[in-house]
Structure 1
């Protein structure tokens, strides 16, 4: 009697998770879209022209969520929180010197190129911010390249969006100084930064220069610290209860700064930040097909280029074409120019610079150069 062997189909092993937080890539994409859309709406508001998306956005953002009608600061809030998560995560494997060097060399090449581009556009008579600026000298270009344009007299908005980079660099310095503590008593650095922010907000009204140039750090660094605490809780270095408690202190500092009139993004800044924190907590560990897709991964790699160049691409196109073409077509053209400019910057500036820096670091590690 013969027996028939019935073979069971092989079981498919569940997809192995690689530990990479793909949800952060998706959040970067969302943030970049929000930033670009905000500045599109800001252009229409600046020229007092109506656009169909304005009515819809005002209903969702202002009337429903009680945020700014242009969704102002939504994208920046997401970028700040995500940045706090990411830079805290990499402190596990980098020395303070490596950490600062990699952050600065990541930001600098694109900043130099886009600042020069913006300087050229302004001197050609084009607009790259909500206000028209006259011809700028080489001194203003050099100040802009080192994020010092706010110290010029009068203040020059060469790349107005780079104020966020100044905030992030100060945060990077604070993180680098606290790396040893982040590996032992991880809850201490966020508390120290909260104390520094509190002292700054208390001292600012008594010194005009100090108040003009340092309250911005005390106002917005707490948002990055909220992202830092999300990372520390996620890694198990800080208990969730302690993370929520310290995060609440930073949120109250932001509310205080907002009540003092130190935020400049209109109504709803604390609510916007709270929304960003909640969405980051919900989405950062996403492992779905969208967040893991090659499209989202590629877009996420280009978000810094998009962030820096989008106003330089959109505003000159809008100012030139809007009087002659349909507004929806002009918006699409502006977005297309933004895509082309950011793609060129990513391929021909950001990636070559990153490869050169990595080669330099490898040579340094071979020759025994300290980190």
Structure 2
């Protein structure tokens, strides 16, 4: 592996790990504490040192999500230049759904156990019957408006929309990346403009608006690798960011510039953090590699497993600082097991399947 490729993967890995940790913190501390009418000095320090000074939305959790979106746009741009549409979608399918399937099974078991033992249902699980888990598995809960079994999967729905557009425009991207990126922008605009036609399109539009932000990652990659000239990249970035802000304010009125939410500050911070790590981080450490590897599984599993552990320990009078440490440790262990025994084998299966003739066709 060349030095440049090493640096590329190091930069991506550390940001993945960082983003997942921010989301875990925001949920297991910033969300769990008020729901359970509890307090902790840990949250106080976090708010005083990080959240308030930088005006972060959702206790910083939204920052982690936006970083994930930038990473996705960056990586998918890299991958799409090497694959045809069928190979691309096959790899993405095996990247997303096997781990999601396992986590939803775990979530169902935990929810059932919690009901039978008088514990609170884990945060982010609003499922009331088995079919809600099936809808959540295929991410149909968002366009259909059914209860979600795993709240964090709304970002996966955004990812799937981006994958579909990438597959549609994959040939155009190889021929003319600049023109293809404009196609992305036009397509997203059309989805949002048509949002008033029916409830399903309206729900899709509420997630499709984030695609403008994902596009920023794509634009950064294509500019860096000189597929698109700098000036055109700047124009694309400005247009994409403008559309994101414009349509976000349209779909979520009075939230973007609201003093109590600070979403606009979080958007700016996500871009700054992305560029800082991209420009200055090129080292490889075992801890960042580990966190990057398990980031997807950790992102999925931390709500059902993490809140179950917190609920049990809280019920037994264990102080939150110890409960949180134990909860995170168990989440890391479970995430590693899912990564090792589900994610990695699934990716190997995908690589074997792409050798089948149907996926080799351009």
What TM-score comes out, normalization by structure 2 length? 0.88
Counterpart in the other structure of 2:17: 29
Counterpart in the other structure of 2:343: 350
Mapping 1:62-77, distance limit 5 Å? 62-68=51-57, 70-77=59-66
**Greater Cα offset, 221-230 or 197-206:** 197-206
Q: Which stretches in structure 2 are left out of the alignment for 5+ residues?
A: none
Counterpart in the other structure of 2:182: 191
- How far has the Cα of 1:357 moved from its partner? 2.6
Counterpart in the other structure of 1:118: 107
- How far has the Cα of 1:189 moved from its partner? 2.5
Output the CA distance in 2 between the equivalents of 1:351 and 1:25.
16
Counterpart in the other structure of 1:267: 261
Matched-pair contact (CA < 8 Å) for 1:81–1:227? yes
Structure 1 residues 275 and 134: alpha-carbon distance in aligned structure 2, compared to 1, 3 A threshold: closer
Counterpart in the other structure of 1:6: none
**Structure with greater Cα Rg:** 1
Counterpart in the other structure of 2:194: 203
Structure 1 residues 196 and 30: alpha-carbon distance in aligned structure 2, compared to 1, 3 A threshold: same
- How far has the Cα of 1:250 moved from its partner? 1.6
Offset from partner CA, 1:283-334 (integer Å, 9 cap, x none): 225454xx31233223211111111111111111112211411110000011
- How far has the Cα of 1:231 moved from its partner? 0.6
Give the paired residue count. 349
Offset from partner CA, 1:72-121 (integer Å, 9 cap, x none): 31111111100100010112211111111111111111011111111222
Q: Does 1:158 align with 2:149?
A: yes
**Greater Cα offset, 298-307 or 226-235:** 298-307
- How far has the Cα of 1:69 moved from its partner? 5.5
- How far has the Cα of 1:166 moved from its partner? 0.9
Residue from 195, 216, 223 that aligns with 1:233: 223
Offset from partner CA, 1:144-180 (integer Å, 9 cap, x none): 2111123556x31201111111110110111111122
Matched-pair contact (CA < 8 Å) for 2:310–2:323? yes
Q: Which stretches in structure 1 are left out of the alignment for 5+ residues?
A: 1-14
Output the CA distance in 2 between the equivalents of 1:145 and 1:105.
13
Q: Does 1:167 align with 2:158?
A: yes
Structure 1 residues 46 and 274: alpha-carbon distance in aligned structure 2, compared to 1, 3 A threshold: same
Counterpart in the other structure of 1:42: 31
Counterpart in the other structure of 1:19: 5
Matched-pair contact (CA < 8 Å) for 1:29–1:299? yes
Structure 1 residues 287 and 369: alpha-carbon distance in aligned structure 2, compared to 1, 3 A threshold: same
- How far has the Cα of 1:257 moved from its partner? 3.1
By relative contact order (CA 8 Å, sep 6+), the higher-ranking structure is 2
* Partner SS, residue 24 of structure 2: helix
Mapping 1:318-329, distance limit 5 Å? 318-323=310-315, 324-329=317-322
- How far has the Cα of 1:356 moved from its partner? 2.6
* Partner SS, residue 252 of structure 2: coil
Output the CA distance in 2 between the equivalents of 1:16 and 1:134.
47
* Partner SS, residue 71 of structure 1: helix
**Greater Cα offset, 114-123 or 251-260:** 251-260
Matched-pair contact (CA < 8 Å) for 1:58–1:69? no
CA RMSD across the alignment: 2.5
Matched-pair contact (CA < 8 Å) for 1:118–1:312? yes
Matched-pair contact (CA < 8 Å) for 1:171–1:221? yes
Residue from 241, 247, 254 that aligns with 1:257: 247
Counterpart in the other structure of 1:283: 277
